[in-house]
Structure formats: structure tokens, C-alpha cells
């Protein structure tokens, strides 16, 4: 049987502590993946480290640190980074997804193509949350008075 009453809420101090540990965790992930990636690329796979791959790598670093800065800014505004269904959840997903793609690209440069799933996911969320309900919303109902007035107007013309 579920507990009765109001569910517990987090205090501001607890949110700040959890945000700090979350930011530290994601910073370690970013640094670990990027340092490992660039060391392996420079020392083991230098021949395949072309201009296009360097551009993708720099773009991945920019996305990772952009997501980190976004989450850091949200944490500074006293917003809980660990709540589900929030913007920070999407930033964490993009950060982790980018780190995974960057790690897999050590095996083969074709793994960079997996990155194209992010815009697909963004369009899916846009469709589900905004566009779909807007396109398929039922027409607003008119009250009887306005309906009769419209019918009289149509009969005159």
C-alpha cells in the first residue's frame, strides 16, 4: 500500500549538493572520453585522423561542453538537474550520446553517422509534444446562440 500524504520534497541544499555531484560526474565522463579518444587517435590511428574527422571531433567536444555549460547554468539557477522529464534530461542524453558516438568512432569512422539520430529524436519530441496535438486538435465548439446566428446569416445570403 502506498504511503499516505504528501510526497517528500527536496530542500534547496540537497538540490545544490546533487547538482554539484551530477556536474562532476558528467565532467569526468567528458574528460575521460575526450582524453582517451585523442590519445588513441593521435598515437594509434593517426593515418585515419583526417580533416573531416578532426572537424567532427572538435564539434563533439563543443557539443559536450555546450551541454555541460547548459546544465551548469541550470544548476546555478537552483533547478534540479536530476528531475526526469526536464530540459536537463535532454542535455544529459545528448552529452552521453555524443560521448558514446565519439568512443565508437575509434573503432570505425562510420560510427559518426549514428549521430544523425539526434535530429530525428528532436523532431519526434517536437511532433509528439507540439506539432501533433496542434494539427490534430478538435475544432472549438460553438455555443448554440452563435450557431443559430450563423444559420440565420447563411439563410439571408
Q: Out of 6-10, 68-72, 92-96, pick the least confident.
A: 6-10
Q: How far, in whole angstroms, is CA 24 from its chain's centroid?
A: 19
Q: How far apart are CA 131 and CA 32, in angstroms?
A: 38
At residue 8, the 3 state secondary structure works out as coil
pLDDT at 11: 79
- 42-86: pLDDT as tens digits: 888 777 778 888 899 999 999 999 999 999 998 887 788 888 777
Please give the grid coordinates belonging to residue 50: 583526417
Determine the longest span between alpha carbons in the chain, in angstroms.
Answer: 85
DSSP state letter for 62? H
pLDDT at 32: 96
Is the pLDDT higher at 155 or at 124?
124
pLDDT at 70: 93
In whole numbers, what is the pLDDT of the chain averaged over residues?
A: 85
Amino acid at each position: 500500500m502506498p504511503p499516505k500524504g504528501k510526497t517528500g520534497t527536496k530542500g534547496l541544499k540537497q538540490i545544490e549538493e546533487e547538482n554539484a555531484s551530477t556536474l562532476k560526474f558528467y565532467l569526468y565522463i567528458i574528460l575521460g572520453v575526450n582524453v582517451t579518444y585523442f590519445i588513441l587517435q593521435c598515437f594509434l590511428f593517426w593515418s585515419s585522423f583526417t580533416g573531416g574527422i578532426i572537424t567532427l571531433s572538435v564539434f563533439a567536444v563543443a557539443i559536450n561542453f555546450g551541454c555541460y555549460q547548459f546544465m551548469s547554468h541550470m544548476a546555478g539557477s537552483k533547478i534540479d538537474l536530476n528531475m526526469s522529464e526536464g530540459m536537463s534530461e535532454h542535455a544529459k542524453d545528448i552529452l552521453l550520446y555524443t560521448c558514446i558516438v565519439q568512443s565508437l568512432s575509434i573503432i570505425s569512422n562510420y560510427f559518426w553517422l549514428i549521430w544523425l539520430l539526434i535530429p530525428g529524436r528532436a523532431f519526434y519530441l517536437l511532433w509528439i509534444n507540439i506539432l501533433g496535438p496542434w494539427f490534430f486538435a478538435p475544432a472549438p465548439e460553438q455555443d448554440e446562440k452563435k450557431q443559430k446566428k450563423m444559420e440565420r446569416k447563411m439563410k439571408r445570403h
